[in-house]
Amino acid sequence: MSKIVKVTDGNYKLVVSNGTQGTITLDTTDGASAVRGTVIVNGDLEVKGTSTTVESTVTTIADNIITLNEGEAGTGISASLNYIAGIEVDRGSLPAARIVFNEQTQFATGGTSGTGAWKFQDINGDTLPLTTNSINAEGPLYLNTPASVIDVSGTVNYERNVYNYAFDAVANDFVVTDPGNGIVILNNDALTSSKGVADYVTYVFANTLQAGIADADTRLTTEDLDTTGIESRINVQVDGTLIATIYSNRLDFADLRIQGNTLLTTISDDDLTLSAPGTGSVVVKDTMILTGSPFDDDLSPDPASPDTGIKLFSKDTADTEGNVGLYYVNKNNVTDELVSRNRALLFGMLF
């Protein structure tokens, strides 16, 4: 049978006389721990005191906003509250975890900076991690890591989720590679790590960038023995024509070759011409040596006659008629030896 206390013309007050030790109990169990009734408050509930303890396992609140630190009169959360206000989770023997607004936490958003931000921390003030699968910013997302970096070391082989990698036996490591369809970047929108950038740049230089400089059919290209299997060289091509090749020990330019201190033609049986156009002359500012014939690749000690002028050549023969060893052959195919002065005088007296 229900019992109702009804006061229609004033307030109703229960008072215990022994002050802070007094307790008013509303008991719906009738001494039974497993069966409990319900205490219903129709109207507002105001609790004045220093603490409120709720032992229920499920708390349902219809309010869409819960106000903490109500009545703060200062600028921000006061120093007496250690500048923080938030929600705390009891973790048993571990330090309690908190989601708090900390007035002293510094922030920087582009050109704006200040103090006061949300923070995940434990009861000792140590920062706690946050796990989530998405952060949606309503504008630019600023990540501020003073004197530090954004580190993805907690993810195993992070860069392999951004670029296509394959194991390289020569390098004994995984390297960025083309799987065969030209797709090297697996995720165009992924942030990459410094290792991923370094690996990708290595791939680009080795596989994508041309080994030289090119403009249409005029180009400068390089070839290296380690990658091409042929002698290392630098090729110079102008208008589709290879005009020069630089090797480690020689230079081929058109039909000429410079090797060490030797200048020669690259085409067998071709003439090497020294010319000074106009009134200029070919000047030799030192002694000249004519080696004895036959010369390199020559089958005969006597060279063929020229189409014009004469050829001078030397023979390594002893006690020749002219005693000089310096010969000529003219365009008429006449070959003879120049005569020394002494023998010229002798021949003049005899003949």
Per-residue confidence (pLDDT) for residue 268, from 0 to 100: 86
Percent of the chain with pLDDT over 70: 95
The pLDDT of 14-34, averaged and rounded, is: 76
Q: Which of 75, 98, 122 is the last residue in one of the domains?
A: 122
pLDDT digits (tens, 9 = 90+) for 210-248: 667 888 889 998 888 988 889 999 999 999 999 999 999
Of residues 8 and 231, more confidence is placed in 231
Which has the minimum average pLDDT: 19-28, 94-103, 259-268, 307-316? Answer: 19-28
Per-residue confidence (pLDDT) for residue 1, from 0 to 100: 66
User: Token digits for 146?
Assistant: 């003073």
Residue-range definition of the domain harbouring residue 299: 292-350
Q: Which of 122, 150, 185 is the last residue in one of the domains?
A: 122
pLDDT digits (tens, 9 = 90+) for 149-204: 899 988 889 999 999 999 999 889 999 999 988 899 999 999 999 999 999 998 88
Per-residue confidence (pLDDT) for residue 115, from 0 to 100: 94
- Alpha-carbon distance of 350 to 8, in angstroms, equals 172
Residue 217 lies in a domain: yes
Per-residue confidence (pLDDT) for residue 132, from 0 to 100: 94
pLDDT digits (tens, 9 = 90+) for 109-146: 888 899 999 999 999 999 999 999 999 999 999 988 88
Residue 323 CB-density burial (10 A; 0-12 exposed, 13-18 middle, 19+ buried): middle
User: Token digits for 250?
Assistant: 């020689």
Number of structural domains found in the chain: 4
Task: Kindly report whether the global pTM for this prediction surpasses the value 0.75.
Answer: no
- Alpha-carbon distance of 186 to 180, in angstroms, equals 13
Residue 153 lies in a domain: no
- Residue 258 sits in the same domain as residue 300: no
- Residue 116 sits in the same domain as residue 33: yes
Q: Which of 265, 282, 306 is the last residue in one of the domains?
A: 265
Per-residue confidence (pLDDT) for residue 209, from 0 to 100: 67
Which has the minimum average pLDDT: 45-54, 57-66, 181-190, 235-244? Answer: 45-54
- Residue 52 sits in the same domain as residue 108: yes
Q: Which of 274, 273, 271 is nearest to 303 (CA)?
A: 271
- Residue 251 sits in the same domain as residue 304: no
Residue 301 CB-density burial (10 A; 0-12 exposed, 13-18 middle, 19+ buried): middle
157, 159, 165, 168: CA torsion to nearest 10:
-60
Residue 81 lies in a domain: yes
Residue 138 lies in a domain: no
- Residue 55 sits in the same domain as residue 114: yes
Among left, alpha and beta (phi > 0; psi -120 to 50; other), residue 76 is left
Residue 302 lies in a domain: yes
Percent of the chain with pLDDT over 90: 50
- Residue 307 sits in the same domain as residue 225: no
- Residue 203 sits in the same domain as residue 245: no
- Residue 326 sits in the same domain as residue 344: yes
Residue 107 lies in a domain: yes
User: Token digits for 31?
Assistant: 């001494």
Amino acid identity of residue 298, one-letter, is D
Q: Mean pLDDT score of the chain, rounded to an integer?
A: 88
Sign of CA dihedral 136, 138, 140, 142: negative
- Alpha-carbon distance of 176 to 187, in angstroms, equals 14
Beta bridge pairs of residue 241: 238
Residue 145 lies in a domain: no
Residue 35 lies in a domain: yes
